[in-house]
Structure 1
Amino acid sequence: MSINRNATAYLCSEGVAGDIEGNEVTPLLTHRSAPTTGASFASSVFNLMNAIMGSGILGLAYAMANTGILGFCILLVLVSILAAYSIHLLLKLCDQTGINSYEDLGGRALQKPGKILVGISIIIQNIGAMSSYLFILKSELPAAIDSFLNPESTGHAWYEDGRLLLVLVTLCVVLPLAMLPKIGFLGYTSSIAFFFMLYFTIVVVVKKWSIPCPLSHNVTTLSGAFKISNSSDSECTPKLFVISSKSGYTIPTMAFSFMCHTAILPIYCELDRPTKARMQNITNIGISLSFLLYLISALFGYLTFYAHVDSELLLGYDAYMPRDIMVMVVRLAILLSVLLTVPLIHFPARKAAILLLFGGRPFSWLIHIFVTLIIVGVVLLLAVVVPDIRNVFGVVGSTTSTCLLFVFPGIFYLKLNTGPLRSFDSLGAILLVIVGFIMGIISFSIIVITWAQNS
């Protein structure tokens, strides 16, 4: 028997911890007769955008350089529409089943293997995302601090050790925020992170006219001498379509950049007056604003460096304007934004880990702290040893991101929906599954082939 439209709100208001089996999500209301205020509409939008945007924005200009402007725009529109539509299917299933947990949707659709598969995918996806964010902190934070404090640096100050700084930041900022039991509390930090991303986009646009093309800058050779590196005039012409072996990283990077599905249902459950229509509006606003910032920053980043765009956009500005105050400030803003995103991404990973390891036990601070410490420790270790952020985008984006973004919502809807198979949403679910499999297989194959050729 299906549950009515307000089922999810009812479950949350009754104090069900996460879903009908008692998983970890703090309820909106502890008792129906004594209501408390849930997360506001604006706070939920900021939390969703913070879950969407992060280190992915730094890799999209590189993706445009390897697909061309029109190719990139077509793919970005396609991925954003499919991401919004897959969220629509998840929210619709929540109303039909009364389940407000991604893992339990998998359990309802595919029994216990489905729940385990979704849980493992969420853990891998979010650990990969958090690792990429901390990787950026490791590589960028020393340069950001050094640019403000010590223009004549010799490279031996303690604050120029990225690994040491990463450990300190993780212990002092990431870990305390990750310990918070409710995702709604992070709405304040998420709003700050959004405005940092907005500032980053503005700086990318402004600096387009500060770096002339053909590009020319000093580079240091292995012998310590300097030489002038110039790009040709032909490289200053934007390409509409580009196809190369590096194009295989484009779709995974985009999938990674719009991957917010693991945070959707926790945000939904903690929303004040949670209804499908209200959450769908939050989703549409969050994805639309993220799409706009992604497109603008990628376009002007590409039109600045053209084929010389780095896989991490900020690195390109170091070579051409290393002491520019706006670049220095935007680097610090992005680092703070990425730093504030890590605890938000940690929340669904911890929830999935507790579900897989401890089942439907009631909330326990001991379990909560233990799992938080384990996940943060694993993420910190990966961030220290990973050699290239592009590898994280490629592998995670082509596997777990495509599954959570496209494949799982489509399969779950086809299994749980009682309507006709020829309905619009059923056909859309079939399309999601097909597109997800094709994108994932092709992208992962190209990445593996590229690795084999490079080795």
Structure 2
Amino acid sequence: MTGLSITDGEPQDGTMSTAHTDRTPLLPSKRQDLVVEDVYDDYHEASVPSAIFNLSTTIVGAGIMALPATMKVMGLPLGILTIIVMGILSENSIQIMLRYSRPSGARSYGGLMADAFGGIGRTLVQLCIIINNIGILIVYLIIIGDVLSGTSASGEHFTGVLEEWAGGPTWWNERTFVLFTIAVVVLMPLISFRHVDSLKWTSALSVALAVVFVVIVAGVTIWKLFAGEISWPRLTPDVYDQKTFWRLFTVIPVMVTAYICHHNVHPIANELSGTADSSDEKMRNVVRWSMLLCGTIYLCTATFGYLLFGDATSDDILSNFDTDLGVPFSHLICIIVRISYAVHIMLVFPLLNFSLRLNLDSFLFPRATPLAHDTVRFSLITGFLISCVFLGAAVVPNIWVAFQFTGATATVCLGFIFPALVLLKDKPLLATRRDKWEAVVMVILAILSSVVAVTTNVINLVDPGKNGST
């Protein structure tokens, strides 16, 4: 679901007219490939619980794997505070979007930006969604590679599941070969569906597998806490020089990526039942409850994950599940955790690819026929994207690096800078002086943290030393 952007406004092919409706469903079963289409035959009004589920599913993704590592960088108290603050800021930025969407009549993020800044606003949103989704899909492949083939960090090798089964490295469990095989055999068939509705059962299974991961991590940690086998966690940041101080800012993009869901807010809001006024209030409640739910999940995962592995926590916590956890059935638990989340990633992959493909096609071919009706264009774009993601996963060293670059650029724009700019533009004259000052502060902090994070990451890549979270 993440990254879906339904463009509002004029027809793109110059001939098709678009009827205006009050609602646009998130996952329509017909004509959802028409980026400008906002009339659907199979539309059913959604309830608040289903909207909370959809938004929460959008939020929880691969970012959860890197959150325990943020605790290692920040220390437990500051890490917990950062997760809470980022959740509050993310909710506030979404509320800004909802507040300004009503007077503008925007039914998508692109429509909101187009109302405030014209075509350039819509184009910027599309570009950021493309960059954000490509970055996250690369992270997905990296995680799959870590789980199946293993990974090395700070001179330590974390064994992959296939390595364990083979008793060591072989040609068939080598990382590049495994990722290529997964991309061709598993991911290509899934991303070849023309309609999101075809993925509804795989999406349901992916959510269940994510829950399994969180429950197991919490359960193992609680068991070891009662057994007295967990040492006292570090409470302060590991800062001892200027370089490690600037490293603290690299946590921000990871947090931003974990909470990003802004591009799916409008489609979910458009599904809600009731009048315009009542649905607006319902959506505000949906955002609050979703952020509370996901924030709780993040706090549990980050805290329990860091308590379980301490300063040995990897950038991708799944890599830590290659050892004896010191609990009954430890080996079986490790296998279940790693395999279940790897499968979860494989099943979520086509959803992000679907929205990425739509936005890329809309950006490159704004006046072409609908993508679902052009088999050649559909196949070329699909093949191009999976190739780019595969090559990116082969080049990017770990998920921390990917999160820093995408989170500090496109994601921070989608999550904070664009909503704040819409408020500062204040086309319907809704903002108070205090609102505008808060928006200015939000933009300045977002830009500063992004610049510092990207700069620090580049320096660490050039001169590794003691970098990232490792």
Query: Structure 2 length normalisation: TM-score?
Result: 0.78
Q: Which residue of 1 aligns with 2:463?
A: 453
Q: How many residues align?
A: 421
Q: Which residue of 1 aligns with 2:468?
A: none
Say if 1:169 and 1:145 are closer, same or farther in 2 by CA, change over 3 A: farther
* C-alpha contact (below 8 Å) 1:174/1:343 kept by paired residues: yes
SS of residue matched to 1:167: helix
Q: Which residue of 1 aligns with 2:346?
A: 339
Q: Which residue of 1 aligns with 2:291?
A: 287
Q: 1:393-408 maps to which residues of 2 (within 5 A)? A: 393-408=403-418
Q: Tell me the distance in 2 between the aligned counterparts of 1:400 and 1:155.
A: 37
Q: Which residue of 1 aligns with 2:305?
A: 301
Shift of 1:77: 1.0
Shift of 1:198: 2.0
Q: 1:157-306 maps to which residues of 2 (within 5 A)? A: 158=172, 160-183=173-196, 186-208=199-221, 209-210=223-224, 236-244=231-239, 245=244, 246-269=247-270, 275-306=279-310
* C-alpha contact (below 8 Å) 1:252/1:443 kept by paired residues: yes
Indicate which of 122, 128, 135 corresponds to 2:142. 135
* C-alpha contact (below 8 Å) 1:87/1:261 kept by paired residues: yes
Q: Tell me the amino acid that sits aligned with residue 250 of structure 2.
A: Y
Shift of 1:340: 1.9
Query: Which structure 1 segments of 5+ residues have no match?
Result: 216-235
SS of residue matched to 2:35: coil
Q: Which residue of 2 aligns with 1:318?
A: 322
SS of residue matched to 2:22: helix
Shift of 1:290: 1.6
Deviates more, 1:138-147 or 1:318-327: 138-147
* C-alpha contact (below 8 Å) 2:71/2:303 kept by paired residues: yes
Q: Which residue of 1 aligns with 2:167?
A: 153
Indicate which of 82, 103, 106 corresponds to 2:113. 106
Indicate which of 35, 46, 56 corresponds to 1:24. 35
Shift of 1:184: 5.4
Q: Tell me the distance in 1 between the aligned counterparts of 2:171 and 2:464.
A: 35
Shift of 1:132: 0.4
Indicate which of 51, 62, 87 corresponds to 1:55. 62
1:12 paired to 2:24: yes
Say if 1:414 and 1:289 are closer, same or farther in 2 by CA, change over 3 A: same
Shift of 1:85: 1.7
SS of residue matched to 1:324: helix
* C-alpha contact (below 8 Å) 1:53/1:257 kept by paired residues: yes
Q: Tell me the distance in 2 between the aligned counterparts of 1:149 and 1:135.
A: 16
Q: Tell me the amino acid that sits aligned with residue 363 of structure 2.
A: L
Deviates more, 1:59-68 or 1:424-433: 424-433
Q: Tell me the distance in 1 between the aligned counterparts of 2:196 and 2:283.
A: 15
Deviates more, 1:44-53 or 1:88-97: 44-53
How high is the sequence identity, in percent, across the aligned residues? 25
Say if 1:75 and 1:421 are closer, same or farther in 2 by CA, change over 3 A: same
Q: Tell me the distance in 1 between the aligned counterparts of 2:72 and 2:160.
A: 30
Q: Tell me the distance in 1 between the aligned counterparts of 2:310 and 2:164.
A: 31
Shift of 1:395: 1.1
Shift of 1:80: 0.8
String of CA shifts for 1:245-294, please: whole Å, max 9, x gaps: 24232111111111122333344446666833343333333322221111
Q: Tell me the amino acid that sits aligned with residue 206 of structure 2.
A: A
* C-alpha contact (below 8 Å) 1:255/1:397 kept by paired residues: yes
String of CA shifts for 1:408-432, please: whole Å, max 9, x gaps: 1110232244225426654543343
Q: Which residue of 2 aligns with 1:230?
A: none
Q: Tell me the distance in 1 between the aligned counterparts of 2:31 and 2:438.
A: 28
Shift of 1:24: 0.8
Shift of 1:151: 4.2
Q: Tell me the amino acid that sits aligned with residue 187 of structure 2.
A: V
Shift of 1:361: 4.5
* C-alpha contact (below 8 Å) 1:28/1:272 kept by paired residues: no
* C-alpha contact (below 8 Å) 2:116/2:427 kept by paired residues: no
SS of residue matched to 2:463: helix
Say if 1:150 and 1:402 are closer, same or farther in 2 by CA, change over 3 A: closer
